[in-house]
Amino acid sequence: MTDRYANSRRLFERATLSIAAGVNSGIRKMEQPVPLYFQRGDGSRVWDVDGNEYIDFQIGQGALLYGHAPAGMAEAIGAQAKLGTHWAAQCELEIEVAERLQKLMPGAELVRFNNSATEVVLSALRLARAHTGKPLILKFEGAYHGWADEGLVGFAPPPDKWGDDENPTHLHPSQGVIPEVLDTFVVARWNDPDHLRRQVARHSGQIAAIIFEPVMCNTCCMEPAAGMIETIRELCDREGMLMIADETITGFRFAPGGAQEALGFVPDLTILGKAIGGGVPFAALVGKKSAMQKIIDGTVVHAGTLNGNPLCLAASKWCLDHVISLGASHPVTANTLGRQLMTGLRALADQHNIPLRPQGPGAAFHAVMLKPGATEGPVTEYRDYVRRQDAPRWAHLRRCLLEQGVRAIERGLWFISLAHREADILEALEKAAPAFALHAAEWKSA
Ligand SMILES: Cc1ncc(COP(=O)(O)O)c(C=O)c1O
């Protein structure tokens, strides 16, 4: 039998001789059966080096909200490249992008640019501690806020170490972290407003900020329970803490003004990444003027050689203009297509007795694969997810889908881009049918 991924395998083997572990981001090693190498993309499609075509629902881990190589974006970047790729100084483009963010995001009175959301998280937390004079940050168990020491506290703790329900441990998945950093975090479980109130009360007067992903896309695409966002806002106002919305994924995706527009709240600081650049390294910290004051007066350091890089700004201006031009049709279309795909996947799962339960708003959703005997109903928090998600079974189905040309994210997340059309969804479901049949047959006999 021919190997469908022969060229990717060859390149990966070669890469391990020059690139540590063969990949440039640890998570990419998870791709089975081999980390894929890509040649080109166009709209909803991407082609690997073996010539395999995929309907892509990974879309650059969500950064490609506008699809692969959207018409107009390359021209915008190219035109800027001819004028200069980098100045480490000011240009009018940065004001134009900042003004568009002010127009789009309810919480954007002022803006600062960086090149990755990981950096922006660090800026936001530093600013919050300086602004409030308090040492602790409250975050939610299982939430991912970038790969730095601070962003990964409380991410993916193993069940034997996660502590009791009332006091989740603040573990870090990496070695080499400054140990004291862990003690500057309080971890709470997502979607339990009463528990959150108790955690805040336990550390009253010590917490500088609550950081949260308004829809926890990274972990099972868990939407906020009734009262959750309101409780965060109320507690922040009452205790003088900053409300930091990490909209790296939700920004521009769930509404032109992000989850804050879709869910109707105004955070003090917002982290923007991924879709703000449509695939170039660009990110922003936006917030209320009062919360940005220490950057304004220079008592909090925020810097970076490549901040406000003109190539990234040209791309971002193109992206934001695209979002603005969609008006009220966004995110309706993406959510509708996503729900159509979720319903179709569920129907295929039912046909083959596969316990797949897609959940999420549509424009992004997670394919929950229930363990044998697991209870039904939406997954609402990290512990619930670990207890019910059959990760090896999902990995097997994902691989079967990949072989048919349907590409989802390894951990179960699916994104609908603005380039996806109904024909893509129908074709993806057609291709998914034999993948589900193969999975059902192989999994049963395993
Ligand atoms: C919610 C959230 N915050 C922060 C980050 C870090 O973004 P970056 O990888 O651009 O540094 C991510 C990346 O996936 C994310 O999903």
Residues 163-208: tens digit of each pLDDT: 899 999 888 899 999 999 999 999 999 999 999 999 999 999 999 9
- Picking from 274, 305, 328, the residue at the C-terminal end of a domain is 328
pLDDT score at 157: 87
Same domain for 336 and 208: no
Same domain for 406 and 291: no
Nearest to 123 by CA among 106, 146, 100, 92: 146
Same domain for 147 and 176: yes
Which of the following is catalytic: 134, 139, 274, 317? Answer: 274
Q: How far apart are CA 138 and CA 184, in angstroms?
A: 9
Known active-site residue 42: no
357 within domain boundaries: yes
Ligand 1 proximity of 116 Cβ (cutoff 6 Å):
yes
The three-state secondary structure class of 160 is: helix
Same domain for 213 and 105: yes
Same domain for 170 and 49: no
- Picking from 299, 328, 357, the residue at the C-terminal end of a domain is 328
Ligand 1 proximity of 250 Cβ (cutoff 6 Å):
no
- CATH code for position 274: 3.40.640.10
Ligand 1 atom closest to residue 61's alpha carbon, by position in its atom list: 14
- CATH code for position 424: 3.90.1150.10
**Under 8 Å between Cβ of 66 and 73:** yes
Of the residues 64, 118, 122, 219, which should be mutated to test ligand 1's pocket, given the most ligand atoms within 8 Å of the CB? 118
What is the average pLDDT across 27-46?
95
Known active-site residue 246: yes
Of the residues 145, 190, 316, 366, which should be mutated to test ligand 1's pocket, given the most ligand atoms within 8 Å of the CB? 145
87 within domain boundaries: yes
Nearest to 43 by CA among 405, 427, 431, 421: 421
Same domain for 61 and 92: no
pLDDT reading at 375 higher than 70: yes
Give, in degrees to the nearest 5, the angle at Cα 267 between 264 and 269: 150
Nearest CA to ligand 1 atom 6: 146
- Strand 242-246 vs strand 283-287: parallel, antiparallel, or unpaired? unpaired
Same domain for 217 and 106: yes
Ligand 1 proximity of 120 Cβ (cutoff 6 Å):
no
Ligand 1 atom closest to residue 118's alpha carbon, by position in its atom list: 11
Domain range spanning residue 182? 73-328
Give, in degrees to the nearest 5, the angle at Cα 33 between 437 and 381: 75
Q: What's the pTM? A: 0.98
Same domain for 284 and 241: yes
pLDDT reading at 267 higher than 90: yes
- Strand 53-56 vs strand 45-48: parallel, antiparallel, or unpaired? antiparallel
pLDDT reading at 353 higher than 90: yes
pLDDT score at 240: 98
Same domain for 35 and 24: yes
| Start-end of H helices in 264-331 | 293-296, 310-326
Give, in degrees to the nearest 5, the angle at Cα 133 between 128 and 136: 65
Mean pLDDT rounded to a whole number for the chain: 97
Ligand 1 proximity of 384 Cβ (cutoff 6 Å):
no
Nearest to 185 by CA among 136, 245, 114: 136
* Cross-strand partners of 207: 136
233 within domain boundaries: yes
Nearest CA to ligand 1 atom 5: 146
Ligand 1 atom closest to residue 146's alpha carbon, by position in its atom list: 6
Residue 186 in tokens: 């309080």
Q: How far apart are CA 426 and CA 340, in angstroms?
A: 9
- Using one digit for the tens of pLDDT, what is the confidence trace for 134-174? 999 999 999 999 999 999 998 888 999 998 999 998 888 99
Same domain for 356 and 313: no
- For 248-279, give the DSSP string: TTTTTTSSTTHHHHHHT---SEEEE-GGGTBT
- Picking from 328, 347, 362, the residue at the C-terminal end of a domain is 328
Nearest to 255 by CA among 282, 275, 269: 275
Q: How far apart are CA 278 and CA 63, in angstroms?
A: 5
1 within domain boundaries: no
- Using one digit for the tens of pLDDT, what is the confidence trace for 77-102? 999 999 999 999 999 999 999 999 99
342 within domain boundaries: yes
Of the residues 144, 221, 222, which should be mutated to test ligand 1's pocket, given the most ligand atoms within 8 Å of the CB? 144
103 within domain boundaries: yes
Same domain for 77 and 38: no
Same domain for 248 and 277: yes
Band the pLDDT of 292: cuts 50, 70, 90.
very high
Q: How many domains does the chain have?
A: 2
Gap from CA of 338 to ligand 1 centroid (Å)? 22
Ligand 1 proximity of 249 Cβ (cutoff 6 Å):
yes
27 within domain boundaries: yes
300 within domain boundaries: yes
pLDDT score at 1: 64
Q: How far apart are CA 274 and CA 118, in angstroms?
A: 11
